[in-house]
Structure formats: C-alpha cells, structure tokens
C-alpha cells in the first residue's frame, strides 16, 4: 500500500509499507515475543506482572476492538465438523466490541495456586461439601462424592489447571486473593475472554482456521476443517504447555473450560459493546464458559465457541483464569489522555491513505468482492500526530486492514455503514497510537473514495 501525507504547509511525505499481520511491532512483525518488565503507566501488551508470592502471573492486554462471535461460514465449518447448530447459533450476531485495557492470567489457575488458597483459608469447595464432581465413568456421566479438585480421576501436578471447581468456588478464591494482595482480581468478561483468546486475529483459532494436537489439548480423535486427527491425552496438561498466543497467554484453546463473569444469553442481541460483563436480563441462572477442554472435540475450542452451566456446577474439565483492571490507564477510566495541546487556531493537518492494494482485499469477508478506499484522517493537534502516524506505519496499516476485511455485503447495504466504519477506523488508529505513544490525536476519518467491485 502506498501512503502519502499532505500537510497544510505544503510539505509532502511518501513511503511504502507491506506485510500482513495484526498490530505488529516496530519491525513489522507480530507481537509474539513477551516483553516482561516493570509495570508503568506506559506498559504494553506482553508485560508480565506478579504482585505477590501467592498471586498468579498476569499479562497486560492493551485496549482494542474486534468482531465478537462467528460468521455464517465459520459456523458452517463447525457444523460440518459435528457441532449441532443449536451450539453455534448463540455465537451470533457477530458484532464489534471495544475492550478497555486489562490484565489477564498468563495461565489458567493451577492446582498448586488453589491449594495455597485452601491451606491459608480452610475453604472447602462445593464438591467437597456436597456430592462431588461430575466425570465419565466409562459408561455414564456421574457425580461422585469421592471426586473433587484434590482427586479428579487422573494424575495432576501442581502445574496443571485446577478442575472440579464451580463458579462459586472461583469467586471464593478471588475474594481471598484480593484480601491478601490488596488488588482487584476478578474473572474475565466473556468479551475480554474472546478478545484475549484471539490475540488480534479473526480466525477460528489464534493461529489460523485449523487445529492439531500439537497446538492444544483436546479430544484428538476428532478432526476439524480437514486437519489430521491426533492424540487424545484424556487428562489435563501443565498450564505452560504449547505456544502462547500473540498476547503471551497460554492454552486459550483447550485444556480446561474457563468460567467467565457473564451470565448466559441465548445470543448477542443487545449485548454490551464495551467489553464489560453482561449480567442483566439473563437466560436462567447460568454462567458462561469459554475455551473448550481436553475432553472436547476441536470445534468447541474455537475463539467464538460458547458454553454454559449453573454457578454451582463442577466438572473435571472446568477451571478458570483471572483478570484484573487495576492496571488501566487514567485515560481508560475517563481521565484526560496525554494529547498534544489543542489550539483552536492551529493549522489543520491531513493524512490521506490512498487506495489499498487489491491483493489485501480480494474475497472481502469471503464474498469474492474487493473494496478500494481512500481515507482522509484529520487532526487539529500538533505535528507529533503526523510524525507518529509515519513512525507506526506498519501497525496502523495492519489494524486498518483488519477492520476493513470484516465488511460484509449486508454491511454495505446499511445507510449508515460508511459513517460507522469511519468511526471504527478512527478508533483503531487511536488505539494503535496510544499503544506506542500514550496519545492518539486522530479526530476525524472521512472516506474520500469508496469503491466495491
């Protein structure tokens, strides 16, 4: 793609960018290297945080936007792989969500971490207090009082995810952890969980459209989207198994289902679009589960896949992962962003993104059409905004293309589509600029040319 910049003073700059990817680093590569370090207001995705000896490792996840849910084609592939339509219908309608900055558990909460909580607090899980945990006996699903997080029917080390814990048990652990750490841990919202799992991708899995047992722990005797079958381990594996996703999060697909904060809704009609947990107008007393498990077929491990159960339910493939929002920047909670000083009489700068290369837009959202657009980006802030746009050309180009690729033919028919798309482009540009520079500055986005063919 060719990008040209026109400043009102008459100076022109021109440069070329290339290469796919989502929010690359300054070398144009994906964010696939964790950047552990001191937590500061400017810390970014991949920063690893550990607040106390009992606290789990957390990873900072920057704010951003994504399309939540699955489209018709992904649902069709999942259905062809054996998933009933009643399980893919709740993944619709696909909708745009803007997620604020938060921290996510680098790993699923481990058996060792949960044991520390139990020893310190004397807590007894609902399985221990009641009639045990559900599991497969070889003939039937059965709740057995002999089974709980200590004994789950297969060998587990302290580095395995804790299972046979209910949503209520997870809340008890969080309350204890907040008390000893002085922090504010919680479960992820369903939107945060999907955003974190995707790692900046819109594919079924963060690495692509297929899956094998070398990438995740699941029922490998089944296949998905034409990929080969593999190993069915019939047990959990250590939480640091397999490669982390671009946000440095492990096992976002498989190993154990993870409780989220949200209650269940049959679909995404009127769902929040700000990444918050959806806890009103619930469809019964059930909580959302995400991620799939060692005991599931691969179609249940997709980023968009959803499941549910009662908050007191415990099963030998259900665990949880933590989130926290105490690392949010002031600007994410309503405070003023660190923008260049705004001057009413300042000159107006214009950046024009000329026509995107066709090769990046062919088969737009699987429709076979091409979108070619020319975008004018306006700001009344000082020259730093323009310099930062040039400085972060790779990340901006990639993020804008990701937004444009999501367009469907149904979107194009909407009367306010271009306006909404312009807002999304503006939003994602400011997100990228804030990621690297702690301020955005893009005030307005206009389409000066818009062609679909």
Claim to verify: residue 318 and residue 368 sit in the same structural domain: no
- Check: CB of residue 278 under 8 Å from CB of residue 262: yes
- pLDDT tens-digit profile of 138-163? 888 889 999 999 999 999 999 999 99
pLDDT band for 1, please (50, 70, 90 cuts): very low
Claim to verify: residue 346 and residue 200 sit in the same structural domain: no
**38 in any annotated domain:** no
Domain boundary among 293, 308, 328: 328
Claim to verify: residue 161 and residue 132 sit in the same structural domain: yes
Claim to verify: residue 311 and residue 369 sit in the same structural domain: no
Domain containing 426 equals 2-32+340-452
* pLDDT, mean of residues 311-326: 92
Claim to verify: residue 302 and residue 344 sit in the same structural domain: no
**333 in any annotated domain:** no
pLDDT band for 131, please (50, 70, 90 cuts): very high
| Better pLDDT: 140 or 387 | 140
Q: Which residues of 379-395 are buried (b: 16+ CB within 10 A; e: fewer)?
A: bbbbebbbebbeebbbb
- The pLDDT score that the predictor gives to residue 405 is 73
Which pair of tokens denotes residue 193?
Answer: 């969980």
Claim to verify: residue 315 and residue 345 sit in the same structural domain: no
* pLDDT, mean of residues 38-47: 61
**200 in any annotated domain:** yes
Claim to verify: residue 120 and residue 211 sit in the same structural domain: yes
Claim to verify: residue 197 and residue 84 sit in the same structural domain: yes
Claim to verify: residue 385 and residue 307 sit in the same structural domain: no
Claim to verify: residue 178 and residue 73 sit in the same structural domain: yes
**111 in any annotated domain:** yes
- The pLDDT score that the predictor gives to residue 366 is 57
pLDDT at residue 378 above 90? no
- pLDDT tens-digit profile of 59-76? 999 888 999 999 999 999
- The pLDDT score that the predictor gives to residue 365 is 54
Domain boundary among 266, 293, 328: 328
What CATH number is associated with residue 293?
A: 3.90.1580.10
- The pLDDT score that the predictor gives to residue 447 is 78
What CATH number is associated with residue 368?
A: 3.30.479
pLDDT at residue 84 above 80? yes
| Domains contained in the chain, number | 2
- pLDDT tens-digit profile of 172-213? 999 999 999 988 899 999 999 999 999 999 999 999 999 999
Claim to verify: residue 233 and residue 303 sit in the same structural domain: yes
Domain boundary among 298, 328, 358: 328
pLDDT at residue 330 above 60? no
| Better pLDDT: 353 or 79 | 79
**40 in any annotated domain:** no
Claim to verify: residue 248 and residue 396 sit in the same structural domain: no
């Amino acid at each position: 793609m060719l990008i040209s910049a026109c400043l009102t003073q008459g100076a022109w700059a021109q440069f070329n960018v290339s290469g796919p990817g989502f929010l690359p680093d300054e070398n144009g590569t994906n964010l696939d290297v964790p950047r552990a370090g001191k937590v500061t207001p400017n810390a970014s995705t991949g920063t690893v945080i550990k607040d106390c000896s009992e606290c789990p490792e957390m990873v900072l996840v920057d704010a951003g936007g994504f399309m939540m849910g699955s489209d018709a084609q992904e649902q069709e592939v999942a259905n062809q792989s054996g998933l009933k339509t009643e399980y893919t219908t709740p993944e619709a309608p696909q909708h745009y969500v803007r997620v604020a900055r938060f921290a996510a558990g680098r790993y699923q909460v481990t058996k060792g971490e949960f044991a520390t909580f139990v020893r310190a607090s004397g807590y007894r899980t609902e399985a221990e207090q009641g009639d045990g945990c559900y599991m497969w006996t070889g003939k039937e699903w059965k709740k057995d009082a002999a089974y709980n997080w200590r004994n789950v029917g297969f060998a587990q080390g302290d580095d395995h995810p804790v299972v046979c814990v209910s949503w209520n048990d997870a809340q008890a652990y969080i309350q204890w952890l907040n008390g000893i750490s002085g922090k504010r841990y919680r479960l992820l919202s369903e939107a945060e969980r999907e955003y974190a799992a995707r790692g900046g991708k819109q594919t079924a899995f963060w690495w692509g459209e297929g899956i094998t047992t070398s990438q995740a722990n699941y029922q490998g005797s089944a296949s998905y989207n034409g990929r080969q079958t593999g190993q069915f381990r019939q047990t959990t594996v250590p939480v640091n198994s397999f490669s982390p996703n671009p946000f440095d999060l492990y096992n976002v697909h498989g190993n154990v289902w993870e409780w989220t904060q949200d209650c269940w809704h049959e679909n995404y009609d009127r769902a929040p679009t700000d990444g918050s947990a959806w806890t009103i107008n619930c469809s019964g007393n059930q909580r959302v589960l995400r991620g799939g498990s060692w005991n599931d077929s691969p179609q249940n491990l997709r980023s968009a896949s959803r499941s549910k159960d009662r908050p007191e339910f415990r099963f030998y493939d259900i665990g949880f992962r933590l989130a926290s929002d105490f690392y949010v920047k002031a600007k994410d909670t309503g405070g003023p962003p660190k923008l260049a000083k705004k001057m009413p009489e300042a000159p107006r700068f214009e950046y024009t993104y000329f026509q995107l290369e066709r090769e990046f837009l062919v088969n737009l959202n699987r429709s076979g059409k091409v979108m070619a657009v020319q975008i004018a980006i306006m700001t009344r802030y000082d020259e730093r905004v323009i310099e930062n746009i040039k400085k972060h050309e790779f990340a901006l180009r990639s993020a804008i293309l990701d937004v444009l690729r999501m367009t469907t033919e149904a979107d194009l028919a909407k009367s306010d589509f271009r306006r909404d798309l312009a807002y999304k482009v503006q939003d994602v540009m400011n997100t990228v600029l804030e990621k690297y520079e702690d301020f955005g500055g893009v005030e307005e986005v206009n389409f000066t040319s818009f062609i679909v063919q």
